[in-house]
Amino acid sequence: MENKVTVLGGGSWGTAIAISLSSKGISTGLWDIDQAHVESMINSRENKKFLPGTLFPEALTIYRNEEEAIAGADVVIFAVPAQFFRSAATAAKPFLKKGMTIVNVAKGIEQGSLMRLSEIGKEIIPEYPYVVVSGPSHAEEVCLGMPTTLVSSSNDEEAAKKIQNLFMTDVLRVYTNSDVCGVELGGALKNIIALGAGISDGLGFGDNAKAALMTRGLAEIERLGLAAGARSETFAGLSGIGDLIVTCTSMHSRNRRCGIMIGEGIDTQTAIKNVGMVVEGIFTCKAAYELAKKYDVEMPIVNGIYAIINDGMDPKEVVRKLMTRKRKSEK
């Protein structure tokens, strides 16, 4: 068992992971760039901003200084929004030491470069074993000890197993998967479909529409994934359909909540502000739209959501266009 684990990022998911690990008696550090947030967590021994009501275990230490947080850690977990991973990895790099394992729990694609987060990691901190942890996992449920399953994915099998063992508890089950590309794309792209599911709900549509959106959305995710080199079976697993289901159907999902407001007629920026947290699907939608062009992959649902978010197109008009597309076979 590791002597110390450090989580960088005091959002809901980073905090839930830190609580889970420290509840096992593992010496766990948590650091966040927002110093006011850090002070609040130190003083209250809970994350009042994102996970109010769950007190921190004794084994969880909140650090004011990033270097001190990382010092002596065997595993460093990045739990920052995807668009900030590059800057977070660059800032942490001087403090990383030989023998550490890097874990990333964020889900997204970097705008501009269109890089997956493991590709950014390989560029900035290539000397460390790198593991992606993904799957259907709301922080609010994990911190309450509700049964949850995850995937530990890496090109390094031993590193994937190491993190599997680290995260496993009697209520948190972890599987390994070597398809890093598929795991990352499934986790990132489902947020776009969740936005669409929320828009559908906001428009007042029913279960039929949502089921169709999720099913055809998964077909688009798989289509892009295969073009990028992922394996088909990954999208039938926890980081594919599993994550898609939980994000499209739960009110814990910030992407779905944002979509509901957009469907109700609230403009995108106001909806994002009302959610109060980073809505990854907004950023990922633009990246996926550009990736679809790059790989020449047909993604009508993603394109429609992009048009709503970025071009201000009426959601009802997007639905009409999707429903009246040229007839074709399901595949």
Q: How many CA atoms lie within 13 A of 216 on its CB side?
A: 20
| CA torsion, ordered 305, 308, 314, 315, to nearest 10 deg | 30
Decide if 38 contacts 11 (C-beta within 8 A): no
C-alpha dist (Å) from residue 15 to 81, 84, 140, 225: 13, 17, 10, 30
The helix or strand, by DSSP H or E, that contains position 101, with its residue range, turns out to be strand 101-104
Between helices 180-202 and 315-323, what is the axis angle to 10°?
Answer: 110
Q: How many CA atoms lie within 13 A of 211 on its CB side?
A: 3
Annotated catalytic residue: which of 190, 210, 294, 328? 190
Q: Does the active-site annotation cover 286? A: no
The helix or strand, by DSSP H or E, that contains position 106, with its residue range, turns out to be none
**Category of 100 on φ-ψ map: left (φ > 0), alpha (ψ -120 to 50) or beta:** beta
Closest by alpha carbon to 182, among 120, 241, 139? Answer: 241
Known catalytic residues?
190
